[in-house]
Chain A
Amino acid sequence: MSKSKPPDGDLLQGTLDMLILRTLLLGPAHGHSIAYSIERRSSEILQVEHGSLYPALYRLEDRGWIAAFWGTSENNRKAKYYRLTPAGKKQLIAETDRWERLATGISRILRPTAEERA
């Protein structure tokens, strides 16, 4: 029953969570548009199976980082919209920080050193 525990160290899952949160920073959106938004904004580098987004959405909602409500879509259908909560906003900042530190660290390792180049 460790399902509500945040999966620390799970880079990919954490990353997807972060991307969703980042997307919702711009305003409430439904699952479909979140999926496309992530795809578009990563210049189509991140190809996620859109279905896998939904468990992530559910998890984030469960943790209180996003909230869901039923609204009407652009083409007048009932759709489940997600929006960022204050807790989610805080989480996004923390996640972004963590990500940046991680990315800096990794890129330092990956960047060839002077000796190697020589």
Chain B
Amino acid sequence: MSWRRYFRRNRRDAESARDLEFYLEQETADNIARGMASDEARAAARRKLGNATAVREEIHRMNTIGFIDNFWRDAVYALRSMRKNPVFTVTAVLTLALGIGGNTAMFTVIRAVLLKPLEFRDPDRLVYYSMDNARRNVHDTQFTPDRLTQMRAAARSFAALGAYGANPENPSLSGEGDPLSLRGARVSANFLDVLGVAPALGRSFLPEEDARGGPAVAMIGNDLWRRHFGADPAIAGRTVTLDSTPTTIVGVLPAGFAFPFSGIDVWLPRPSEWSLLPPRFWGISLLMGFGRLKPGVTLDQARAETTVLTEQYNRAHRTMDSDSTMRIVWLKDRLVSNVRGMLWMLFGAVGFVLLIACANVAGLLLARATSRSREFAVRAALGAGRSRLIGQLLAESLVLATAGGALGAIFAKWSLSALQSVSVLNQPAVSNALYVPGASGMRVDAMVLGFTIALSLITGVVFGLFPSLEMSRPDLADVLRESGVGAGRASSGKRGTLGISPRALLVIGQVALSVVLLIGAALLMRSFARLHSVNTGFQTSNLLTMKIALPPSRYNTDPRRAAFFSDLVQRVETLPGARSAAVAMSLPTTRWIRTNITSVQGQPLPETNDPTFGVIQSVTPGYFRTLGIPLRRGREFTARDNMAGAPPVMMINESLAHLLWHDYPQGPNPVGQHISEGYDKLVGMMEVVGIVADIHEGGLASDVVSEFYLPCVVHPPQNAYLVVRTPGDPLKLGNSVRSQVAAIDRDQSVSEIRTMETVYEDTLGQRRLTMQLLGSFAGVALVLALIGLYGVIAYSVAQRTHEVGIRRALGAQQGDILKLVLGQGLGLTLAGVVLGIGGAFALTRVMKTLLFQVSATDPLTFAGIALLFVIVALAASYIPAWRASRIDPMAALR
């Protein structure tokens, strides 16, 4: 085959040479035999043979693959000329490395998260299901165990149906040493069967372990098994103390298994037995579902069947959610739904950066090629065809792109590890967010390298073709006639479409693309600033928070839990460095519990779509003082309110006051009125003793909600948060608070020790990362576009030295020249900015969900970026303009 011949051609050539040599010897010998003198004989032999070198060359050519040979020569030449132009080379390679590296990194993420199938058996059969309620405007919410039972009994579309508890748990692992607070998930016993995953060790749950009152069993994650149990191969069957209950570990999950939440250490059966709620509530809506479609069943068929079954169920059970509908989506789609838009948007943005980088390098090459037009004319005159000239220029750009690609791959590897360390994909802001598949498996592998190589080659061709086409038809006579200095002018004067030179077009494109990116980044930054200026309603600084999950087995009664929390608050408040402390059922941004107000004395309940319009908070008396929530009317809870048997009292926030008494703050005073609520037990009518200001419970981006507060003793939570106000750095107090917890209960663990500022910041993680990435892309784009603009202007000034000289000689002032050049820069910039604004108008809507209180077409941002760009562009063209204005007419014209 020709490739083999290609590599063996040198040996073949030697053979041909020997063969021909033999001919000469033989012919010479024959000639001598014919009676010639030896010199003459040799010469005659040569004549007879003809041109031996030409013959060898002909045979050699048969063995070569033409373009490779040429390419090799061109590449070597390109390397030589790159070495002679280090500034150009370094600029071009770095520019390309940024573009290619950024794209490689983003592609790695996109591939790991979005493109790879889930690492389960037949992942394209797996679905996710949950409830929607159009009337209450709640979506993707939980369902009851009864619905699961009905679905399992009746649905024929599914090979298997599983469910998980919508909220992760925090079981404590005690025994040796400090108790360990783990992250746990409750799943139906068949979860591994549905997913098609085999345990790494031991067995999966048995069906009977899913029944109420089943044995205390758990499966543990590979990470916990290695970290805490020293990868004990005999772990299966071992009994450990989990939430003060002897629990048998039945199996270990494979490494990397993360379903349904990320960072789960322990899986428990019986998904509806949420430890936060007493057992009598384990029948309420607490489940989310996943399942496997039977082979051949389409998603639409499954949806149709489920709709019918849901209606049947709703007719048979008149409950609060009996007008809900079930939604079924592909599991993969649901898992990536929170990040998909962001990732594609960033991929698009980084693609823009690459385009800008290409345009920049194309501009550089074009400038260089123009100044080399004489070289090309000479080559063409010596017989190089157009394809050879294009080939040479392409070879140069491919060499550049290869170097850029290699550097880019290194850059990508580095930026990926940086990205992974701050990745919000691994640490979702909301504790009950589903895990993001592939987030931990992002690495530069063969496929990614293939992408990089392909990208480099395409890049090389894209930015190389532009100048090559331009340069490969030199007007020979014209260029060669010119003297060395002005040699480039003939071809640089050539105008492309619409009388604009190709370099100008490149710059306009660059400006337009970077304006789009800048506007996108600016919109995100403005949203972020808006978010940070949101008044949370209380003082977030100097607050220490931590989570305390009381094991239901030991703290199984209200008095036990209430006593624990009272004791804890008392102890912590005596700590030096703690101003005040309180315990609450939930923290702002952590998952709250909505419930319903069942009656208001003396007036009807308000008409609302959502009966669960009230968020319940169970707090110890110091809560408002500790957080700094202003009291609007009445009084705060006192220690007496928090004692068992005290008259039932309640505090409400202003939103709830306004909802129940429309005229608030005018009209009847809510303080002193009586309300009853419908959380886990009937407390009866409670007197409203105070009204507090609203706070942003749902995080900065959410609206305020109507909310009521009850003394801790009424509903002592199973999982609670401790907040401590400190004069200085709150985290310094972490250990002494932890030891106070241990002093009350040696086996009790704490988790999520954070400052309140971090609690809020953590909810912004994805926004922040998006903003930072888009911001850095936009920054790179801006710099590249300015370099491109500067290059074009500076180059055109150099080209027009002669013209400027004539103008000066004819009386143009320095200011006129300055204006002339600046005008050129301004023209290019304006054209690009207008195009960019149009593009941004069309594109920024994709980031709507990431914006906060800023319109996707915010006029101020658009105008600001346009203005900013014009100013920096003028600054960039000022340097060459100034240089042009200083041209000495005598020197220029001589």
* B-facing residues in A1-17 (Cβ within 8 Å): 1, 3-4
Query: 8 Å CB contacts to A: which residues of B17-43?
Result: 18-20, 22-23, 25-27, 29
Cα–Cα distance between A51 and B18 once the two chains are bound (Å): 13
B62 at the interface (CB under 8 A from A): yes
Q: How far is the CA of A31 from the CA of B16 in the complex (A)?
A: 11
User: What is the interface size of chain A, counting residues whose CB is below 8 A from a CB of the partner?
Assistant: 22
Collect the chain B residues with CB atoms within 8 Å of residue A54's CB.
16, 19-20, 55, 59
Is there an interface contact between A51 and B20, defined as CB atoms closer than 8 Å? Answer: yes
Residues on B with C-beta less than 8 A from A105 are: none
Known: A4-B2, A31-B23, A73-B22. A50 touches B62 (CB 8 A): no
A45 nearest CB across to chain B (Å) = 17
Measured CB to CB, the nearest residue on chain A to B29 is: A75
Contact A51–B54 (Cβ < 8 Å): yes
Pair A77/B22 contact, Cβ less than 8 Å: yes
With A and B bound together, what is the CA distance between A62 and B1 in angstroms?
9
Residues on B with beta carbons closer than 8 Å to the beta carbon of A117: none
Minimum Cβ distance to chain A for residue B798 (Å): 44
With both chains docked as a complex, state the minimum distance between the C-beta of B60 and any C-beta of chain A, in angstroms. Answer: 10
Contact B62 A51 (CB under 8 A): no
Instruction: Encode B59-75 as 1/0 by CB contact (under 8 A) with A.
Output: 10110011000000000
Chain A: minimal CB distance from B23 (Å):
5
Does B15 have its Cβ within 8 Å of any Cβ on chain A? yes
Q: Is the CB of A30 within 8 A of B66?
A: no
**Known contacts A75-B29, A80-B15; A32 and B58 CB within 8 A of each other:** no
Task: From the candidates B5, B22, B52, B59, name the one contacting A32 in the complex (CB within 8 A).
Answer: B22
Min Cβ gap B56→A in Å is 8
A30–B22 contact, CB under 8 A? Answer: yes
Instruction: Verify A58–B26 contact, CB threshold 8 A.
Output: no
How many Cβ-Cβ contacts under 8 Å join chain A to chain B?
A: 66
With A3-B2, A62-B62 given, is the CB distance from A51 to B22 under 8 Å?
Answer: no
Q: Per a CB cutoff under 8 Å, which of B19, B22, B27, B55 touches A52?
A: B55
Q: How far is the CA of A1 from the CA of B62 in the complex (A)?
A: 9
Encoded as 1 (CB less than 8 Å from any B CB) or 0, chain A from 27 to 68 comes to 000111001000000000000011110110011001000000
Neighbouring B residues of A59 by C-beta, 8 Å: 62
Query: Within 8 Å of chain B (Cβ to Cβ): is A108?
Result: no
Residue of B nearest to A80 (CB): B19
> How many Å lie between the Cα of A58 and that of B52 in the bound state?
14
Are B29 and A1 in contact (CB-based, < 8 A)?
A: no
B51 at the interface (CB under 8 A from A): yes
The answer to the question of A111 belonging to the interface, with a C-beta cut-off of 8 Å to chain B, is: no
What is the CA–CA distance of A30 and B29 in the complex, to the nearest angstrom?
Answer: 15
Is A79 an interface position by the 8 A CB rule? yes
Q: Tell me whether A50 and B22 are in contact in the complex, defined as CB-CB below 8 angstroms, given that A1-B2, A58-B16 are known contacts.
A: no
Alpha-carbon gap, A30 to B27, bound state (A): 12
Residues of chain A within 8 A (CB-CB) of B15 are 80
For B495, the chain A residues whose CB sits under 8 A away are none
Are the CB atoms of A49 and B62 closer together than 8 Å? no
Residues of B within 8 A of A1 (CB): 2, 65-66
- Note all chain B residues with C-beta closer than 8 A to A51: 20, 49-52, 54-55
List residues of chain B with CB within 8 A of the CB of A78.
18, 22
Chain B residue, CB-CB nearest to A78: B22
In the complex, A54 Cα to B16 Cα: how many Å? Answer: 8
| Residue numbers in A under 8 Å from B50 (CB-CB) | 49-52
Nearest Cβ on chain B to A16's Cβ, whole angstroms? 13
Residues of A within 8 A of B52 (CB): 51
Bound together, the chains give a CA A75 to CA B58 distance in angstroms of 29
- Min CB distance A24 to B, Å, is 15
Which of chain A's residues has its CB closest to B27's CB? A32
The chain A residue sitting closest to B33, CB to CB, is A75
The answer, among A30, A32, A58, A77, for a CB contact under 8 Å with B62, is A58
Chain A residues with Cβ below 8 Å from B29 are: 75
> Nearest CB to that of B12 among chain A residues?
A58
B48 part of interface (Cβ distance < 8 Å): yes
Chain A residues with CB under 8 Å of B26's CB are 30, 32, 73, 75, 77, 79
Which of B23, B25, B59, B66 touches A58 (beta carbons < 8 Å)?
B59
Instruction: Give, as a whole number of angstroms, the nearest-CB distance from B306 to chain A.
Output: 60
Which A residues lie within 8 Å of B23 (CB)?
Answer: 31-32, 35, 50
The residues of B that contact A35 with a CB separation of less than 8 Å are: 23
A110 to B25, alpha carbons, bound, how many Å? 44
Q: Is the CB of B22 within 8 A of A79?
A: yes
In the complex, what's the smallest C-beta–C-beta distance from B4 to chain A, in angstroms? 11
Q: Which has the most chain A C-beta neighbours within 10 Å: B18, B20, B26, B50?
A: B26
Residue of B nearest to A82 (CB): B19
Residues of the B chain whose Cβ atoms lie less than 8 Å from the Cβ of A30: 22, 26
Which residues of A have CB within 8 Å of B65?
1
Q: CA separation between A77 and B19, bound complex, in Å?
A: 11
Q: Which of A50, A79, A80 is close to B49, meaning CB atoms less than 8 Å apart?
A: A50
Contacts of A55 in B (CB 8 A): 55, 58-59, 62
Bound: A49/B58 CA distance, A: 14
**B59 surroundings in chain A (CB, below 8 A):** 54-55, 58
Q: What is the bound-complex CA distance between A62 and B29, given in angstroms?
A: 30
Residues of chain A lying within 8 A (CB to CB) of residue B54: 51
When distances are taken between beta carbons in the complex, the residues of chain A under 8 Å from B25 are: 77
Chain A residues whose CB sits within 8 angstroms of the CB of B62 once the complex forms: 3, 55, 58-59, 62
Least CB distance from B821 to A in Å reads: 51
Within the complex, the shortest CB–CB distance from B583 to chain A, in Å, comes to: 80
Residues of B within 8 A of A62 (CB): 5, 62
Query: Would you give the shortest CB distance from A49 to chain B, in whole angstroms?
Result: 4
- Once the chains are docked, how many angstroms separate the CA of A109 from the CA of B155? 87
Chain A minimum-CB-distance residue to B58: A55
Which residues of chain B are within 8 angstroms of A32 by Cβ–Cβ distance? 22-23, 26-27
| CA A78 to CA B22, docked complex, whole Å | 8
Q: In the complex the two chains form, what is the Cα distance from A50 to B28 in whole Å?
A: 14
Give chain B residues whose Cβ lies under 8 Å from the Cβ of A73: 22, 26
Distance in angstroms between the alpha carbons of A30 and B19 in the assembled complex = 9
Question: Distance in Å from the Cβ of A64 to the closest Cβ of chain B?
Answer: 13
In the complex, what distance in Å separates the CA atom of A92 from the CA atom of B58? Answer: 24
Bound CA–CA A54/B61 (angstroms):
13
Q: How far is the CA of A30 from the CA of B59 in the complex (A)?
A: 17
Interface flags, B828-855, vs A, CB<8A=1, else 0: 0000000000000000000000000000
Select B18's contact among A50, A52, A80, beta carbons within 8 Å: A80
Interface string of B371-397 (1 = CB under 8 A from A): 000000000000000000000000000
Q: Residues of A at under 8 Å CB distance from B?
A: 1, 3-4, 30-32, 35, 49-52, 54-55, 58-59, 62, 73, 75, 77-80
The 7 closest A-B pairs by CB, nearest first: A51-B50, A49-B50, A32-B26, A51-B55, A80-B19, A51-B49, A55-B58
CB-defined A-B contacts under 8 Å, sample of 11: A3-B62, A4-B2, A30-B26, A31-B19, A50-B49, A51-B54, A51-B55, A52-B50, A54-B55, A58-B59, A80-B18
Given contacts A30-B26, A79-B26, 7 further A-B contacts (CB under 8 A): A3-B62, A4-B2, A54-B16, A55-B58, A58-B62, A73-B26, A77-B25
